[in-house]
Amino acid sequence: MSKIKVKIPATTANMGPGFDTLGMALKLYNEIEVEETYTETEIYNDNVKSSDDYKDNLIYKSIINALDRFHYKYNGFKINVIKCDIPMSRGLGSSAACIVGGVSAANVIMGNRLTIEEIISIATDIEGHPDNVVPAVVGGMVVSINEDGMVNYSKISMPGQLKFAAMIPEFEVSTELSRKVLPEFYKKQDCIFNISRATMLVSSLYNEDFNSLRMCFDDKIHQPYRNKLINNLDSIFAKSKELGSVGEFISGSGSTLMAVLNKDEDNFVNKMGEFLNQLDDRWKIILLKPDMEGVKVM
């Protein structure tokens, strides 16, 4: 079998009030090559063989998860990560990219027997929640509902002029830790707070009402509890507002912070970069646009 090349976008999830439901694909990519072999599996990073156990590799585990569901017989694979621009454990969907890449490659190995909905279902089952998986598959900004293993989703209109400044620190925040800090129960008024802002966020984007976005990105379900895991969050958000962003949020479970921009993007990046350089943790800033296409198999 010839090599299967898969290009997978980064994703940002939650986007303020949309905990475990809202996500968006971004123009930052990982690329993998997968080739079915008759020998034991080997993992490569840019053609350099990895010393890690292939059985722990998330791409490999996602491939065989999909193949085993359909009783496809295999011996092994050569998996080559030829591009890895999505930082690990930074809230930009690195695990979803591995999973979606693996399931998409498995689909080609099986003769493209899976529908988009089946790819999403398998990948969500592996990941545990759909907010990163769905936009990684279909692109754009998406609201997703996982009900009894069935994922329903709908794309949200995203104004073309909006861009996203990702502020990425040196330190990681694990998804497991970020979920442990969340309370088991919430007050009714906090739930109402989030419902109102999540629905207003969708409306504001559709109507290109940028004046409402800052209020819409506010949240009481996860960000107030996770901000203690991210050094200098309050000062970075304050500086973002000062420099003209229309809203800010924690990307996924962190540690990346996201500022939403609709003008003066270059000035924002330059000034915020200067500010971040004064902080600990070696922050970097990159300007990203939404990816509207999702995973590509080449």
What DSSP letter does each residue of 160-214 carry, written as one string?
Answer: TT-EEEEEE-SS---HHHHHHTS-S---HHHHHHHHHHHHHHHHHHHHT-GGGHH
Instruction: Please check if 89 is assigned to a binding site.
Output: yes
Instruction: Please check if 91 is assigned to a binding site.
Output: yes
What DSSP letter does each residue of 103-162 carry, written as one string?
Answer: HHHHHHHTTS---HHHHHHHHHHHHS-STTHHHHHH-SEEEEEEETTEEEEEEE---TT-
Instruction: Please check if 88 is assigned to a binding site.
Output: yes
Q: Which two tokens stand for residue 153?
A: 């989703």
Instruction: Please check if 93 is assigned to a binding site.
Output: yes
Instruction: Please check if 105 is assigned to a binding site.
Output: no
Q: Cα–Cα distance between 22 and 202 in angstroms, integer? A: 10
- Would you say 129 and 20 are in contact if contact means Cβ atoms under 8 Å apart? yes
Q: Which two tokens stand for residue 47?
A: 């053609």
Residue 13 CB partners (closer than 8 Å, separation 6+) = 20, 22, 23, 24, 91, 93, 131, 132, 251, 252
Instruction: Please check if 294 is assigned to a binding site.
Output: no
Instruction: Please check if 259 is assigned to a binding site.
Output: no
Binding-site positions for ATP: 87-97
Binding-site positions: 87-97
